[in-house]
Amino acid sequence: MELPRYTFAAAVGHWTFNASITAVLVVLAAAYLGGVRSATKRGNSWPLWRTAAFLVLGLGSVALCTMSSLATYNHTVLWALAAQVTLLISIVPVCIAVGDPLGLVQVALSPAAVRRWDRLISGRVVRTLTFPAVAAVLAVVLQLVLFFSGLLSLVLRSATALDVLYLVVLAVGCLLALPLLGTELLPAWCTEPLRLLFAALDGLLDAFPGIVVMTTGTMLAGSHYRRFAPSWSPDPKWNEHVAGALMLALSEVVALPLLLILFFRWAASETRAGAREVADVPAVVNETGSPDETPAAEQPWWETEGFGRRTDEFQPRRRR
């Protein structure tokens, strides 16, 4: 049966159930809630808003991308699949990272288990893959390989291959979002301003796949979409232009929340650091016996302004 024209009613009403993705989401939710319970038993409180962010924003957005009308229409029009891939590799990992699952691991495990975890994430492979520049390039390469190789036709023919693609795309997106918003995976010299810079550069790189898809002269899985194209769709080539435009627009729009989170977190850390420095300055008693403020010592601007300075709350965990 031909799907109806993609209107607001169709977008809201045409959902599909994905048993494999649902099972993965249930396992992740159970693991996270188990970590919260373990942390509470160890006397470590875990913010309720982080739990809500992980379950509702993080896992909820995964379900939205993989079981909404986009999943219903992705075999019919290319732009639906393109929107899924872009959201799973960009905005969904940010939603997951807000829940700070790596931070939960640190407070939920025993000291011996934490040491083993530290050795795992301190390995060369993990450090390389989670470095922002490497993760951003890997995300771009994955999207180009998907749309300009036989992989696109494979995932359209096999539901299992499509589910694996969902998880791989999400994992690659998390390689960038988790380190930028976490405190464990990046080296000490990667300060808050540098994190913000990496996020901005990632936003520029994310535009490249959309531009390539929008301007390509080849048919992407053309035989499939020519066969299943609905009567209300102009032609498969038009779908490619829409798919590329959606990838470009979504990748740039969804980069804004990440930039805002990093910016306000940097501003908050600098405010706290400034307050600690003021509290540590000793008072000088003047002739009348009342304390005067000690004038600030002359320091280079890169120290007084905080550029390159590592605040205590963002110190990465060292090997033990």
Mind listing the pLDDT tens digit for each residue in 292-312? 544 444 444 444 544 444 444
Yes or no: say if 214 and 248 are a contact pair by the CB < 8 Å rule.
yes
Residue 244 half-sphere exposure toward CB, CA atoms < 13 A:
20
Yes or no: say if 94 and 181 are a contact pair by the CB < 8 Å rule.
yes
Render pLDDT for 230-241 as a digit per residue (tens, 0 to 9). Answer: 888 777 778 888
Range in 52-56, 80-84, 214-218, 261-265 the model is least confident about: 261-265
Residue 274 half-sphere exposure toward CB, CA atoms < 13 A:
10
Residues in a beta bridge with 284? 292
Q: Which residue has the tokens 């035989």?
A: 223
Reply yes or no on whether the pLDDT at 125 is more than 50.
yes
CA distances from 32 to 24, 55, 115, 319 (A): 12, 9, 20, 24
Tokens of 48: 């309720």
Render pLDDT for 173-231 as a digit per residue (tens, 0 to 9). Answer: 998 888 887 766 676 666 777 777 777 777 778 888 888 888 887 778 777 887 887 88
Render pLDDT for 134-173 as a digit per residue (tens, 0 to 9). Answer: 888 999 999 999 998 888 889 988 899 999 999 999 999 9
pLDDT-derived band at 32 (thresholds 50, 70, 90) equals: very high
- Could you tell me where the beta strands, DSSP code E, fall in the chain? 284-285, 291-292
Long-range contacts made by residues 51-55, C-beta under 8 angstroms, separation at least 24? 51/99, 53/95, 53/98, 53/99, 54/96, 54/98, 54/99, 54/100, 54/101, 55/29, 55/99
The helix/strand/coil state of 292 is strand
Render pLDDT for 1-25 as a digit per residue (tens, 0 to 9). Answer: 678 888 888 888 889 999 999 999 9
Closest CA to 131 of 191, 192, 94, 175: 175
Render pLDDT for 94-111 as a digit per residue (tens, 0 to 9). Answer: 889 888 898 898 888 888
Range in 39-43, 62-66, 227-231, 287-291 the model is least confident about: 287-291
Yes or no: say if 178 and 135 are a contact pair by the CB < 8 Å rule.
no
Residue 202 half-sphere exposure toward CB, CA atoms < 13 A:
30
